[in-house]
Amino acid sequence: MSKLTDGFSTRINFAASGASLSMEETEVTPPGISGGGENDTTTMANTTWRTKYPKSLKTLSNSSFTAAYDPADLNTLVAAVNVNQEIVITFPDQSTWTFWGWLDEFTPNALVEGEMPTASCTIIPSNMDGSNDEIAPAYST
C-alpha cells in the first residue's frame, strides 16, 4: 500500500486565474466527500428496528488553505472571488485532485512582527463547469 508520508509540497492551481493568483500555500486542506447522511425508510410495517438507506447523491465538501500573499495582488484576488473554474490540487507525489469550484473567501490573518503574513482561504466546490454541466471530481496519478 502506498501513502503520502509528508504533506510537503501540496499546491493549488486555479485554472481561470492561473499564475495571476500569486499566493504560496503554507497549509492545504483538500475537499472531503460526504454521502449526506441517511434516508429514513422506516414504515409502519417495521416490527423491531428503524431502517435507513444511503442517499444517492454525494457532496464534495469545502476546501481551505493558508497562503502567503502579496498585497500588491489584492485587486487580482478580489477579481478571482466567485469565479467558477477548474481547480487542481497537486499532492506531493504529483497526483492530482481536479474539481470545479470557486475561491469563496480570502481573509488576511493578523499581521505580526517577526511572522510571515498569511491569509486564510476557502474554496467551495460547484461540481459544475462553465456550461452548468455536472462534472465529477477526478483523481489522477
In a domain, 29, yes or no: yes
Q: Three-class SS of residue 115?
A: coil
Q: Is residue 5 included in any domain, yes or no?
A: no
Residue 6 lies in a domain: no
Note down pLDDT in tens along the chain; length 141 residues.
Answer: 689 999 999 999 998 865 557 799 999 999 999 999 999 999 999 999 999 999 999 999 999 999 999 999 899 899 999 999 999 999 999 999 999 999 999 999 999 999 999 999 999 999 999 999 999 999 999
The CATH number linked to 100 is 2.40.30
Task: Tally the domains of the chain.
Answer: 1
28 within a domain of the structure (yes/no): yes
The structure's pTM equals 0.91
Q: Which domain holds residue 87?
A: 11-34+56-140
